[in-house]
C-alpha cells in the first residue's frame, strides 16, 4: 500500500481554498432548470429526444466554459491553449457529467427519463453499450461532489490534447489538482487505498468514449440530424 495511507494526510490551507473554489464553480454552473423540466414533459420520439439532448449538450458546453474559467490558473494559460483544452476535453467532460448526473438518485425519476431518452435518440447500440458501462463504473464509485468537481478539472487540464503548445504549463496545473484529489480520496475512502487509482482508471475509460463519439456524430449526420452552431464549431462538423 502507499505510504500515504500510513501517514496522517494533511490538506494545506491553499489546497482547501483550491477545492472550495472548484466545488463552488461546479455547483454554480449547471444547465438551466427549464431545460431539465422540458426533459420531463416533452413527448417521446427519437427526433424529439435527439433535439432535447442537442439542446442540453449545447447548454452543457456553455456551462463547461464558465466552470473552466473558474479553475485557478486556467486563465493565465496561453489563450490558444485555453481553447485547445476546451475543444479537446468537451466530449469527455460531457460524458463525465452525464455519468455523474445519471448515477444520482433523483426523486422525480429524472435519471430514468434521461436514460430512456438517451437510449432512444437515434444512437446505435455499439455506442450505447460502452456509454452505459461507463455510467455503471462511475456509479460504483459513488463519488462525493469534491471528487466529481476535481475529476472534471483534471479531465479539462489534460496536457496531451491536440494543438496544446505549452504542455508543461498545463501539466503543472493538472498535477496540482491530482495531488489534492489523491489526498481527498485517502481521507474520504480510508478503507479503500486503491480508490484514487480506480478514479484515474475512469479517465482512461473516458478517452475510449472520445473515439466512439466521433462515430456517433457521423451516424447521426447520416440520418441528417442537425447540430447547433456551437456544437458544429466545437466538433468541427458541417
Ligand atoms: C452527451 C449527451 C449530451 C449531453 C447530456 C448527456 C446526458 C446527460 C447530460 C446531463 C446534463 C446535466 O444534467 O447537466 C447536461 C447534458 C448531458 C451531459 C448526453 C448523452 C449522449 C449525448 C450526446 O453525446 C449528444 C451529442 C450531440 C448531440 O447533438 C446530442 C447528444
Written as nine digits, the cell of 82 is 485555453
Report helix, strand or coil for 158. coil
Reported as a pLDDT band with limits 50, 70 and 90, residue 3 is: low
**54 CA from centroid of ligand 1 (Å):** 7
Burial call 152-183: b when 16+ CB within 10 Å, e when fewer: bbbbbbbbebeebeeeebbeebbebbbebbbb
Q: Could you give the count of Cα atoms lying within 13 Å of 139 in the half-sphere of its Cβ?
A: 13
**Is 93 a pocket residue for ligand 1 (Cβ < 6 Å)?**
no
**Is 53 a pocket residue for ligand 1 (Cβ < 6 Å)?**
yes
**34 CA from centroid of ligand 1 (Å):** 16
Residue 139 has pLDDT above 60, yes or no: yes
Residue 6 has pLDDT above 80, yes or no: no
pTM of the model: 0.93
**Is 54 a pocket residue for ligand 1 (Cβ < 6 Å)?**
yes
**Is 103 a pocket residue for ligand 1 (Cβ < 6 Å)?**
no
Written as nine digits, the cell of 237 is 462538423
Least Cα distance to 147 among 187, 117, 114 occurs for 187
**Is 90 a pocket residue for ligand 1 (Cβ < 6 Å)?**
no
Report helix, strand or coil for 228. coil
Q: Compute the 3-state secondary structure of the chain and give helix, strand, coil in percent, each to the nearest 5.
A: 75, 0, 25
Percentage of residues of the chain with pLDDT beyond 70:
97
- Please give the mean pLDDT across all residues of the chain: 92
Amino acid at each position: 500500500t502507499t505510504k500515504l495511507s500510513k501517514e496522517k494526510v494533511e490538506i494545506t490551507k491553499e489546497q482547501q481554498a483550491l477545492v472550495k473554489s472548484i466545488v463552488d464553480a461546479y455547483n454554480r454552473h449547471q444547465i438551466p432548470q427549464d431545460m431539465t423540466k422540458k426533459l420531463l414533459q416533452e413527448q417521446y420520439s427519437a427526433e424529439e429526444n435527439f433535439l432535447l439532448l442537442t439542446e442540453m449538450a449545447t447548454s452543457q458546453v456553455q456551462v463547461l466554459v464558465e466552470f473552466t474559467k473558474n479553475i485557478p490558473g486556467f486563465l493565465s494559460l496561453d489563450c490558444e491553449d485555453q481553447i485547445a483544452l476546451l475543444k479537446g476535453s468537451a466530449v469527455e467532460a460531457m460524458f463525465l457529467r452525464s455519468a455523474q448526473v445519471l448515477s444520482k438518485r433523483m426523486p422525480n425519476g429524472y435519471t430514468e427519463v434521461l436514460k430512456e431518452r438517451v437510449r432512444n435518440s437515434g444512437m446505435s447500440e455499439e455506442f450505447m453499450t460502452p456509454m452505459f458501462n461507463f455510467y455503471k463504473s462511475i456509479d460504483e464509485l459513488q463519488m462525493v461532489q469534491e471528487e466529481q468537481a476535481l475529476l472534471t478539472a483534471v479531465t479539462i487540464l489534460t496536457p496531451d490534447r491536440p494543438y496544446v503548445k505549452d504542455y508543461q504549463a498545463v501539466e503543472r496545473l493538472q498535477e496540482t489538482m491530482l495531488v489534492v484529489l489523491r489526498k481527498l480520496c485517502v481521507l474520504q475512502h480510508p478503507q479503500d487505498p486503491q480508490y484514487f487509482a480506480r478514479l484515474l482508471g475512469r479517465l482512461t475509460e473516458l478517452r475510449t468514449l472520445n473515439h466512439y463519439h466521433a462515430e456517433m456524430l457521423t451516424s447521426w449526420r447520416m440520418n441528417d440530424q442537425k447540430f447547433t452552431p456551437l456544437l458544429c464549431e466545437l466538433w468541427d462538423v458541417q
